Amino acid sequence: MSETHYDIVTVGGGLGGSSLAKAMSEQGQRVLVLERETNFRDRVRGEFMTPWGVAEAQSLGIYEIIRDNCGIDAPVSHLGFGPRDLPSTTPQQLPGLGFSHPEMQEVLLEAAKSAGAEVHRGVTVTGIRTGPTPAVTFQDENGDDQEVTGRFVVAADGRTSSARKWAGFEVKEAPQPFYFAGLLLKGVAAPEDEVYLLFLPHLGACTAMTPIGRGRFRTYVAYADNQGMRLQGEQNVLRFLSDAKRADLISQCFNKAEAIGPLASFRCGDFWVEHPYKDGVALVGDAGSTSDPAFGQGLATTVRDARVLRDCLLANDDWDAAGHAFATEHDRDSQVIRRVSHWFRALFLEQGVDADARRARAMPLIAQDETRVPDHLFSGPNLPADDSVRRRFFGEE
Ligand SMILES: Cc1cc2nc3c(=O)[nH]c(=O)nc-3n(C[C@H](O)[C@H](O)[C@H](O)COP(=O)(O)OP(=O)(O)OC[C@H]3O[C@@H](n4cnc5c(N)ncnc54)[C@H](O)[C@@H]3O)c2cc1C
């Protein structure tokens, strides 16, 4: 590597790191991306981007790149109230986007490279030194220790981010009593442009399914953690399919379904950093906040982070001030996403006498008027999320 100083160094080349690298390289900034993997594999991650995320992806110039290379538009959604046409019913007037996550990572890293970013793969970042000129240390492809400096460092190393610890951020957490499992399938008898998010409140579970193109469907099952069971590995594929089939609307789809990827499950919880910027280091995407299950908003949050950070850095030559402006905006969105996701879990997933009472009050009203369900999942965190919205959802006005 000839250069050792860059405008921006990103730790990680996932959706967050690569889309920011592409956007800032296009503006003439010298960007270095440090990515550990030489080949992206199926890690069981997000593959449905909701319309408010698609709007952010459009603004970053990555929507068509993803759709045309490894994705598919999903204009119709099902939450159990009949099909919904997303382009005519969301403020963004856009469809959702399904895609293969590992293919998306390859495509966006190539796009970042074409825009002028320097991309190093097979390198593992091992530390960050914060300060006016932050430094990043890493092991290169040969196992040798290297150091680069940046005017600004972006930590985009995912949900188990080490970078946020090295940079001294405190991680807040609120564990949730659920697991979220995912599996890639082929042979599913379902339309290739429809996405499903179907709650089974009496079981404390939900099934979600999104097409990702070329006849493949990512299917997820969320389930309560009190069953003493982990949906993981080949031996649990049949159990996963039988749990997915409990959602009546799609129960017949899986009769000829075949697993074409690993089955993995994740413990749910909210993990976040308040004000994810300090001393030259910003946290983007899952490194800054995850809320599971947030029912398909992690990708949207990640691309919004990249878009907001780009806009803040371009608007202000003082990048320390720009970092703080980004963090303030991130906090507002992240609080709304956590609050609304909590409402969804309380009404649609939680078990027990109190949860049953909540449902007895709310569900008949929702059945009469589905607009009582807050639309933040599809329309984004700019919608109002105050107590009057909560009371209307819970039928407490
Ligand atoms: C089961 C599951 C289902 C989900 N479903 C959805 C969904 O349907 N819709 C949705 O919107 N969101 C979903 N999400 C969330 C979504 O996948 C994430 O929000 C999104 O992938 C975050 O992108 P990122 O770039 O921040 O992190 P990542 O995609 O994790 O990328 C981080 C990158 O950093 C690299 N890296 C890590 N450490 C280092 C290091 N030390 N050195 C160098 N490189 C490093 C990694 O190799 C990786 O490429 C889901 C998540 C899970 C777990």
> In the Cβ-directed half-sphere of 109, how many Cα atoms lie within 13 Å?
23
Nearest CA to ligand 1 atom 50: 46
For the CA of 285, the nearest atom of ligand 1: 26
Q: What is the mean pLDDT of residues 291-320?
A: 95
Residues 103-125 as b or e (16 or more Cβ within 10 Å = b): bbbbbbbebbbebbbbbbeebbb
* Cis amide linkage into residue 293, ω under 30° from 0: yes
Of the pLDDT bands very low, low, confident and very high (cuts 50, 70, 90), residue 209 is very high
Which residue's CA is minimally distant from atom 1 of ligand 1? 45
Tell the residue nearest (CA) to atom 19 of ligand 1: 298
Tokens of 26: 């296009």
Amino acid at 163: A
Among residues of the chain, what percentage have pLDDT more than 70?
99
Query: Band of the pLDDT at 1, cuts 50, 70, 90?
Result: low
Write down the mean pLDDT value for the chain. Answer: 96
Residue count of the chain? 397
pLDDT band at 119 (very low <50, low <70, confident <90, very high): very high
Integer Cα distance of 316 and 312 in angstroms: 6
Q: Whose alpha carbon is nearest atom 51 of ligand 1?
A: 45
Q: How far is the CA of 271 from the centre of ligand 1 (A)?
A: 14
Amino acid identity of residue 79, one-letter, is: L
Q: At what angle do helices 298-315 and 15-25 cross, to 10 degrees?
A: 30
**pLDDT of 226 above 90:** no
Look at residue 229 in the predicted model and tell me its pLDDT: 87
H or E, element range at 199: strand 194-200
Q: Stretch 116-120: mean pLDDT, rounded?
A: 98
Nearest atom in ligand 1 to the alpha carbon of residue 264 is 1
Candidates 10, 20, 45: which one to mutate for ligand 1, based on the most atoms within 8 Å of Cβ?
45
Q: Is the pLDDT of residue 238 over 80?
A: yes
Structure-token pair, residue 355:
């949860």
174-204, pLDDT tens digit by residue? 998 899 999 999 999 999 999 999 999 999 9
pLDDT at site 2: 58
Provide Rg for the chain, Cα atoms. Answer: 21
Res. 124: pLDDT tops 70: yes
The average pLDDT across 166-178 equals 95
pLDDT of 227 strictly over 80:
no
**Predicted local distance difference test score (pLDDT) of residue 58:** 98
Q: Which of 155, 148, 150 has its CA nearest to residue 133?
A: 150
What's the CA angle centered on 347, arms 343 and 348, to 5 degrees? 110
Q: Which two tokens stand for residue 363?
A: 């569900």
Pairing of strands 281-283, 216-224: unpaired
Whose Cα sits closest to atom 13 in ligand 1? 46
Q: Closest Cα to residue 19, out of 149, 95, 119?
A: 119
Report pLDDT digits (tens) over 8-43. Answer: 999 999 999 999 999 999 999 999 999 999 999 999
Residue of 126, 178, 299 best suited for mutating to test ligand 1, as the one with most atoms within 8 Å of CB: 299
Rounded to the nearest angstrom, the distance between the alpha carbon of 261 and the centre of ligand 1 is: 17
